[in-house]
Amino acid sequence: MNKTPTVKLTGVFPKTFRVTKCETGRADCNFEYATKKKKVFFEVCLHGAVELHEHFTELGYTELAPKLEFPTWHPNYKKVKTMIEKYTMPCIHMNGSDENSLRRQYNDLFCAVSDAQVKLLYDTDFHQRDYYPLGDEAWDKAFKEREEVKEAINTVYQYAKQHMHFLDYGKEPLPDED
């Protein structure tokens, strides 16, 4: 009689690691890893978890589910491409807006959105300590909302920049690296 082989799961898998959301509220993440001899578990901030993720991946460890969701500032963040690939540029002609007016207006827009980016990133306090009384999920929600706002501002920034460049040089600029 053929018997189906079974595997007994012991809970420790060598050369594995996992990053999970911290439930205690003292840190952002829990990081755990296992070798053949031991299993280690500790709390770490999100930035530290991302660095450890990269290090353990380079060492050949396998990530167990749930897998780390990278923050939007990280190069491994997989975001849905929503930005317009190519903007439609205006045509300067006798029956339309004059070139100098358009150049001035897009320059003003560019300056305003640049100021908004600086105010959001450097002049507006944003810290986890302001959200923890609202519950465990409040910080994550606020962080995601702020990232969405940053992406929206960046879209307006790119729009204004490309129009300024087109009006100054008659061609679109190369896309930004960031």
Q: How many residues does the chain have?
A: 178
For 83-137, the pLDDT digits (tens) are 566 788 888 889 999 888 999 999 999 899 989 888 888 888 888 889 989 987 8
For 133-158, the pLDDT digits (tens) are 998 788 888 888 888 888 888 888 88
* Backbone φ, ψ for residue 152 (5° rounding): -65, -45
- The mean predicted confidence, pLDDT, of the chain is 78
Annotate 74-95 with DSSP letters as a single string.
STT------S-SSPPPP---TT
3-state secondary structure of 98: coil
Reported pTM: 0.50
Q: Edge-to-edge, what's the strand order for the sheet holding 39-44?
A: 39-44, 29-34, 16-21, 62-63
Is 3 or 15 the better-scoring residue by pLDDT?
A: 15
Is 45 or 25 the better-scoring residue by pLDDT?
A: 45
